Amino acid sequence: MKTNCIKCDKQLGNWDVAYPEGASQVHPLGGTVFRSYGNYGSTVFDPLDASYLDICVCDSCLSTTTHVYAGVNESYKQEQAEARQDLEEFAYNTLEEAN
Ligand SMILES: [Zn+2]
C-alpha cells in the first residue's frame, strides 16, 4: 500500500510488513498519520459512528508548517511508560532464564 501526503501529495511508502495478518493500516514511512473520528462543528465529517479518517503528512511538510497544535496526553504518556517497563522486565526475565 502507498500513502500520500495531504499537503504536497508526495507518495510515501507504507509499513505493511508491520501488519502481517493482512490487516494493513495506514503507517507512512517518512511521515506521520493523524486519525480523526470527526469533529462537532465540521459540516464535512462528524459521523458519530466510530468511523474515522486517517490523514498522512510527510516529514518535510510537517517540519515546515506553522499550523501545528502540540500537547502532551498525560494518560497516554503513563501507558507508554508502563509498556516500556513491562518490556524491559520481560527482556530481563528472558535473559535470566537463559543464563
Ligand atoms: Zn508533504
Give residues with Cβ within 8 angstroms of 86, minimum separation 6: none
Is the pTM higher than 0.85? The answer reads no
Q: What is the pLDDT of residue 12?
A: 96
Measured in angstroms, how far is the CA atom of residue 42 from the centroid of ligand 1? 24
Measured in angstroms, how far is the CA atom of residue 59 from the centroid of ligand 1? 7
Q: What is the pLDDT of residue 24?
A: 77
Measured in angstroms, how far is the CA atom of residue 85 from the centroid of ligand 1? 35
Q: What is the pLDDT of residue 33?
A: 96
Measured in angstroms, how far is the CA atom of residue 40 from the centroid of ligand 1? 27
SS (H, E, C) 26-90: CCECCEEEEEECCCECECCCCCCCCCCEEEEEEHHHHHHCCCCCCCCCHHHHHHHHHHHHHHHHH
Q: Report CA dihedral (79, 82, 78, 39) to the nearest 10 degrees.
A: -10
Give residue limits of the domains in the chain: 2-68, 72-99
Q: Which residues are bridge partners to 36 per DSSP? A: 53
Residue with cell 507518495: 11
Chain segment 13-59, per-residue pLDDT in tens: 999 888 878 777 999 999 999 999 999 999 999 999 999 999 999 99
Q: What is the pLDDT of residue 7?
A: 97
